[in-house]
Structure 1
C-alpha cells in the first residue's frame, strides 16, 4: 500500500490552515447573547444551512460504513441515503411550526405543544443518547480512520481531533460550526468525487465494474422473506428513523433554526437534500468499485470496512490522496462540532435556563461554553472505553436509533398533524416507548443466554426492521388512545402549532415564503431519489 507523499501532507496542512483562519474570523465576531451563540444570530443563508446539514450528517463512521456496505453486499442500506425527501420535508412541513414558535430546541417545542414534562424528558434523554452514542461512536470511528490513514497512534489521532474541534466550537458557537462546515463540505465533496472518478476509470468504467460483480449484486430490493433486509419493513423503518433524525432531532434541526427566515431555511433543506444524495456516488460507489477490483485481483483487503482506505491509498495519485484524507478529517470534525454544539444548546436552554430563568444572556453564553467543554472531556473519556468495548455492543450502539426513533417520531408527527393529541398521550408514548426500547435492546443483547422458547428470546430475535415498524404502529395507537381517553387540549394550547389550528393569516404568510423555484428544486430532488431507486433494481 502506498504512503502519503510530501504533497499529500502539504494539502492536509493547508486544510487545517484554512479551517483555522475561518474559525479565528468567526470567533472574533459578536457572541454576546444566546441567539448569537446557539443559533448564529438566526442569520444564516441557504447555502450555509444546507452545507451544515450535510456536513453534520456525514461522519467518518458514515463514510467507512457506507463504503463497507457497497463492498460487503449490503446494498439495501442504500435506502438510508435516499432520505433526501425527508430533508426537504423538514423545510416544507416542520420548519414553519418550529420557526414560528421561536424555539431554540426540539424539547422546547414539545413544551409549547404539550407541557414542561415532555420537554424535560426529551432534553435529558437526548443528552444521554448523544453522549452514549453519537459522541462515543464518532470519536471511536474517527480515531480508527485517522490512525489507519495517517499511520499515527489511535489515541493521538482521536485526542488531537477532539481537542481542535472542541476549541473552535467552544469559542465560536453555532456560527463557527456552520461556517467551518460549509468549508468542510466543499473539501469533502471535491475529495471524494475525485476518488470516485479515478477509481471507476481504473476499473474500466462503470460497465467494467458491473462485469466484475455477481449477478443481481446491485439490487437494493430484497423479498419480504429475506432474513436481513425485507423490503417493506426496510422502507417503513428507514422512513420512521429518517423522520426522527432529519425532522425532529436537535442535531440536525438546529442548523435550520439558525436560518434568517423560513424561506432561507427551506431552501437550505432543499440544498441539503440535494447534497444528501451525493454519498451514494461519493462513498457507496467507491465501495462497489473496490469489490470489483478485488474480484479482478487488482486490490486486496480483508474487511469491507477497509475498502475505502485501501482504494484511496492504491488508486489515487500523490496530492489527491491528501485531498481525500482532508475530506475525511472534515467529515469527522464537522460531525463532532455539531454534536458538541447541540449538547451545549440542550443543556443551557432546556436545563440550566429552566432552573435559572433569570440568568443574564452573557451568563448563559458562558454556561454554553462550559457545557461544550464538558462534552469534549466526556468524548475524550469515552476513547478508552470504546477501545475495549466488544464489537457486538458497538454494532448495537450504531443501530439503537431504530428503537428510540418510533416513540419520538410518533409524538412529533401526531402533535403537528392531529390537534386532539394532548400532553398525557405524548408523555405516555415517550415513557412507555423508552421502556419497550430498553427491553428490546437488553433482550437482543442477552438472547444467546435465554431459553429459545421464552418470550424475551422471541422478542429480542425479531428482525430489527420488522420490530421497529410494528413498534411505531404501537406508539401511534398508544398516543391516540390515551389522548382520546383524557381531556382535549385547549384552543390556546394548540393555536399555530398544528395544521388544524392555523389561522388564515398564518396560512397566507406561509404561502408567501416559497416560490416556483423552491417547488421545482424539491421536485428535482424527489425525481433523483426515484431514479436511483430504479437504477438499483434487478
Structure 2
C-alpha cells in the first residue's frame, strides 16, 4: 500500500474540522429533554433521515468486508446489499404504527402492542447483543482500518476513534449523530464512487472484467445443493434478517422516528432505500476490480479484505485518496455513533425510566450521557478480547443474526398484521426463540464432540441459512399456536397498533404520501429486480 502524502493529510484534516464544527454547532443547541436528546426533537427532514439510515448501516468492516466478498468469490453475499425493498417495507408497512404510537424505542412498541414483559426481554437482549457484537466488532475492525490507512498503532487508532465519536455522541445526542452522519454519507459515497469509476476505467471496463474472471463468477444464485449459499435458504433467511434489521431494530428505526411527521419519515425511508442500492456498485465492485487487476498481475494483496484499501491507495490520485480515507473513517464513526446512541436510548427509556418513572427530563438526558459513556468504556475494554478472536469466530459473528432475527421478526410481523396474536404468544416466542438461538451457537461451537449423523451433530452443522429459514417457520407456528390457545387481547389496547384495529384518527384518511413517493418506490423495486437478474452468471 502507498502511504498517504501531504495533500491527503490536508483533505483528512479539513474533513474532520468540518465534521467537528458541525458537531459543536449541534451540541450548542438545546438538549434538555429526552425527545430532543434521543430523537433530535422529532424535527428532522427526509434527506437527513435517509442519509442517516444509510450511514448507520455502512461501517468500516462493512466497506472492507463487502469489497472482500467481491474479491473472494462470495457473490451470493450481494443479496444482503440489495435489500432496498426491505427498507421500503419499513417506510410503508411498519413506520405508520411506530409513528402513531409515539414510541422512542422498539421494546416500548412491544409493550404497547403486547406487554411489559416483552419490552423488558427485548431491551435486555438488544443491549447485550449491541455491546457484544455491534460495538466490539465495529471498534475492532475500525482499529484495523485506521491503523492500516494512517500507519499508526492499532490501539492508538481504535481508542482515539472511539473517544472522538463518543464525545460528540454524549454531548450532542441524536441530533449530533444524524447531522454528522449526513456529512459522512456524502463523503463516503463521493469517495467510493470515484474509486469505482477510476477502477473500471483502469481495468478496461465491465466486459473486460467479465472476460477475465468468467461470467460464472458474477452468479449470485447458487443451486439448492450448494453447501455454502443454497439460493432458496439464502433468499428466505436474508429476508428474515433484513426485516429484523431494517424494520424492527432500534439501531436503524430510531432514525425514522426523528422525522417531523410520518410523511417525512416515510420519504426518509424511501431515500435510505435508494442509497442502500449504492454499496453494490461502490463497495462490492471495487473488490471485483481488485481481483481482476491481481489476476492480470497489476495489483498485489494477501487476503480479500485488503482489496479495498490496496486498490484505493494504488489507483486514486493524491488528495482524492485522502478523501476516501476520510470516508472510511467516517463509516466507522457513523456506525459507532449510531450504536452508542441506540444503547443509550434503550437503557434510559426502556430500563431506567421504567424503574424510576418520575425522573425529571433533564436528569434523564444526564443518565443517557452516562449510559453512552459506559458503552464507550465497555467497547474499549472489549478490544483486547476481539483482537484475540480467530478469523473463524469473527466470520461466525456475522451469522449470529440468523439465530437472533427469526423470533423477533415473527413477533413484530405477525403482531402488526393480526390482532389475534397476543402477549402470551409473543413472550413465549421471544424467550423460546432466544434460548434456541443461543443453543445453536453453543452446539455449533461443540460440533466436533458429537457423533456424525446424530441429531445434535446435524443441528450443529446444518447450513446457517437453512437453519434460519426453518427456525423462522418454527417461531411462526409457536407464536400462532400459543396465541390461539390463550385468550385474545382487549381490542381497545390495540387501537392503531395493527392493520385490523385502526386508530380513530385513521378515519380522517390524512394523506401521508404522494405520487412521487409511490413512483420512487416502484423505481427502487425495479432496480432491485434488475440487479437480481443481472448477477445470474450469464
Please report how far the alpha carbon of residue 95 of structure 1 lies from its aligned counterpart in structure 2 after TM superposition. 0.5
SS of structure 2 residue aligned to 1:212? helix
Aligned 1:72-471 pairs, distance under 5 A = 72-471=72-471
Q: In the aligned structure 1, how far is the partner of 2:183 from the partner of 2:333?
A: 12
2:53 matched residue in structure 1: 53
CA shift, 1:446, in A, is 1.5
| Structure 1 SS opposite 2:509 | helix
Partner of 2:535: 536
Give, in whole Å, the separation in 1 of the partners of 2:523 and 2:362: 44
Return the TM-score normalized by structure 1.
Answer: 0.99
Offset of residue 32 of structure 1? 0.9
Displacement of 1:202 in angstroms is: 0.6
In structure 2, what is the Cα distance between the partners aligned to 1:413 and 1:166?
34
Q: Deviations over 1:222-247 (max 9, x none)?
A: 11011111111111000000000000
Give the drift of 1:2: 1.7
Q: Distance in 1 between matches of 2:222 and 2:381?
A: 41
Q: In 2, Cα distance between the equivalents of 1:506 and 1:246?
A: 25
> CA contact under 8 A between 1:80 and 1:242: conserved in structure 2?
yes
CA change 1:393–1:507 in 2 (3 A) is farther
Q: Secondary structure at the match of 1:274?
A: helix
Contact 1:45–1:260 (CA under 8 A) maintained in structure 2: yes
**Whole-Å separation in 2 of the counterparts to 1:8 and 1:263:** 41
CA distance in 2, matches of 1:341, 1:509: 34
1:363 Cα offset (Å): 0.4
The change in CA–CA distance for 1:390 and 1:236 in structure 2 (over 3 A counts) is same
> Are the equivalent residues in 2 in contact too, given 1:130–1:339 (CA < 8 A)?
yes
Segments of 5+ residues of structure 1 without an aligned counterpart are none
Q: Deviations for 1:155-189, whole angstroms, at most 9, x for unmatched residues? A: 00000100000000000000000000000000000
Note the C-alpha offset of 1:390: 2.2
* Aligned length, in residue pairs: 537
Question: Residue 151 of structure 1: CA displacement?
Answer: 1.0
Task: For residue 507 of structure 1, report the CA deviation from its aligned partner.
Answer: 5.3
What is the SS of the residue equivalent to 1:318?
Answer: coil
CA contact (8 A) 1:422 1:488 kept: yes
Structure 1 residue 214, shift from structure 2 partner: 2.7
Q: Aligned equivalents of 1:515 and 1:198: distance in 2?
A: 38
Question: 1:505 Cα shift?
Answer: 4.1
How far does the alpha carbon of each residue in 1:371-408 deviate from its partner, in whole angstroms, 9 at most, with x for none? Answer: 00100001111111111122222222222001000000
Which whole-Å CA distance do the structure 2 matches of 1:60 and 1:456 have between them? 36
- Note the C-alpha offset of 1:453: 3.2
User: Which secondary structure state, in structure 2, belongs to the residue aligned with residue 499 of structure 1?
Assistant: coil
Deviations 1:112-157 (A, max 9, x none): 0000000000000000000000000000000011111111100000
CA distance in 1, matches of 2:329, 2:63: 11
Partner of 1:36: 36
Superposition deviation, residue 509 in structure 1: 3.5
Q: Please give the alpha-carbon distance, in whole angstroms, between the structure 2 residues aligned to 1:67 and 1:337.
A: 23
Distance 1:211 1:300 in 2: 20
CA deviation profile, 1:462-507 (whole Å, cap 9, x unmatched): 1111100010000000000000000001111211100001157415
Deviates more, 1:210-219 or 1:235-244: 210-219
Summarize deviations over 1:90-111 as a string: whole Å, max 9, x none. Answer: 0100001000000000000000
What SS is found at the alignment partner of 1:491?
Answer: coil
**Structure 2 CA distance, aligned partners of 1:504 and 1:29?**
36
State the 1:333 CA deviation.
Answer: 0.2
Distance 2:328 2:273 in 1: 20
Question: Partners in 1 of 2:330 and 2:391 — Cα distance?
Answer: 26
C-alpha distance in 1, partners of 2:207/2:307?
Answer: 20
TM-score by length of 2: 0.99
Deviations 1:57-91 (A, max 9, x none): 00001001100010001001100011101111101
Deviates more, 1:115-124 or 1:495-504: 495-504
Residues in 1 aligned to 2:102 and 2:429: alpha-carbon distance in whole angstroms: 25
SS in 2 for 1:241: helix
Q: Distance in 2 between matches of 1:283 and 1:454?
A: 42
Distance 2:160 2:180 in 1: 17
Q: CA RMSD in A?
A: 0.9
1:4-44 deviation line (CA, Å, top 9, x unaligned): 11000001111110111000000000001000000000000
Shift of 1:289: 0.4
| Aligned position for 2:518 | 519
Structure 1 residues 519 and 504, CA gap change in structure 2 (3 angstroms): farther
Classify the secondary structure of the residue corresponding to 2:285: helix
Q: Please, which runs of 5 or more residues in structure 2 have no aligned partner? A: none
* 8 Å Cα contact 1:137/1:398 also seen in 2: no
Distance 1:178 1:403 in 2: 30
Q: Separation in 1 of the partners of 2:306 and 2:377?
A: 29
